[in-house]
């Protein structure tokens, strides 16, 4: 009985090792099977971000902005901005067979990328304050600054084309 147990154990060990290595490889990066879903979800989040930013812009220059709408869009943008860095697991950029405009610089300069996401978050917070104080001028300035933080990140981290 004892010998059988040892033989079985020795036979299983290489499989266990391969399993463990696979688990390690996938923990820190996008597993091949999940990549299209990851990229699709990320692009859907950005579309939601785009809709919220447009909805804010539409309130600029009105004599009576809809302040509760402004507050809820700004809060939506804050949530999206805090989650943004998690939409980019290693291996989910260009060159992995999926159409994406996520540039390699995202993973080459992660701190700079995180700062760009933080800037978006800070600017959304400023818009939240503008909404709380019902200040149309602060809303205009804040929304423009917010839009610039989108462009600032896109210039550095979004590739021109989505083709791999
Ligand atoms: C920290 C960086 C960063 C910030 C800030 C940022 N974006 Fe982006 N955005 C990206 C990257 C990278 C992509 C490409 C994602 C992909 O193709 O996988 C993208 C893609 C998009 C897309 C295209 C989504 C699609 O259909 O494929 C839209 C729309 C968009 N962003 C809007 C915005 C708006 C609006 C803001 C500001 C309110 C913003 N983004 C802020 C990095 C950023």
**Residues within a 6 A CB radius of ligand 1:** 39, 42-43, 46-47, 49-50, 53, 77, 84, 100-102, 113, 116-117, 120, 146, 149-150, 153-154, 157-158, 162
In this predicted structure, the answer to whether residue 3 has a pLDDT above a threshold of 90 is: no
Q: Which atom in ligand 1 lies closest to the alpha carbon of residue 124? A: 38
Task: Write down the pLDDT at residue 77.
Answer: 98
- 48-94 pLDDT, tens per residue? 999 999 999 999 999 999 999 999 999 999 999 999 999 999 999 99
Task: Write down the pLDDT at residue 21.
Answer: 42
Task: Write down the pLDDT at residue 31.
Answer: 53
**Residue 93 C-alpha to ligand 1 middle, in angstroms?**
13
**To 5 degrees, how large is the angle CA 164–CA 118–CA 24?**
55
- 6-58 pLDDT, tens per residue? 444 444 554 444 444 444 444 445 555 599 999 999 999 999 999 999 999 99
In this predicted structure, the answer to whether residue 2 has a pLDDT above a threshold of 50 is: no
Q: How many whole angstroms separate alpha carbon 139 and alpha carbon 123?
A: 11
Q: How many whole angstroms separate alpha carbon 40 and alpha carbon 49?
A: 14
Comparison of pLDDT for 4 and 88, the residue scoring more = 88
Mean pLDDT, to the nearest integer, of 120-137? 97
Nearest CA to 84 out of 51, 54, 56, 110 is that of 110
Task: Write down the pLDDT at residue 29.
Answer: 55
Q: How many whole angstroms separate alpha carbon 78 and alpha carbon 20?
A: 37
- 105-125 pLDDT, tens per residue? 999 999 999 999 999 999 999
Task: Write down the pLDDT at residue 162.
Answer: 79
Residue identifier of the C-alpha nearest atom 2 of ligand 1: 153
Q: Which atom in ligand 1 lies closest to the alpha carbon of residue 42? A: 18
């Amino acid at each position: 009985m004892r010998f059988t147990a040892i033989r079985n154990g020795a036979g299983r060990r290489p499989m266990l090792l391969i399993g463990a290595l696979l688990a390690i490889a996938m923990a820190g990066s996008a597993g091949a099977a999940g990549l299209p879903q990851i990229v699709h979800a990320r692009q859907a989040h950005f579309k939601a971000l785009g809709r919220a930013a447009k909805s804010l812009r539409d309130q600029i220059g009105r004599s009576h902005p809809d302040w509760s709408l402004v507050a809820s869009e700004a809060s939506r943008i804050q949530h999206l901005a805090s989650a943004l860095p998690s939409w980019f697991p290693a291996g989910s950029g260009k060159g992995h067979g999926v159409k994406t405009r996520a540039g390699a610089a995202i993973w080459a300069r992660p701190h700079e990328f995180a700062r760009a996401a933080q800037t978006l978050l800070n600017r959304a917070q400023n818009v939240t304050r503008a909404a709380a104080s019902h200040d149309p001028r602060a809303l205009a300035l804040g929304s423009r600054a917010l839009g610039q933080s989108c462009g600032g990140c896109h210039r550095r981290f979004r590739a021109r084309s989505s083709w791999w």
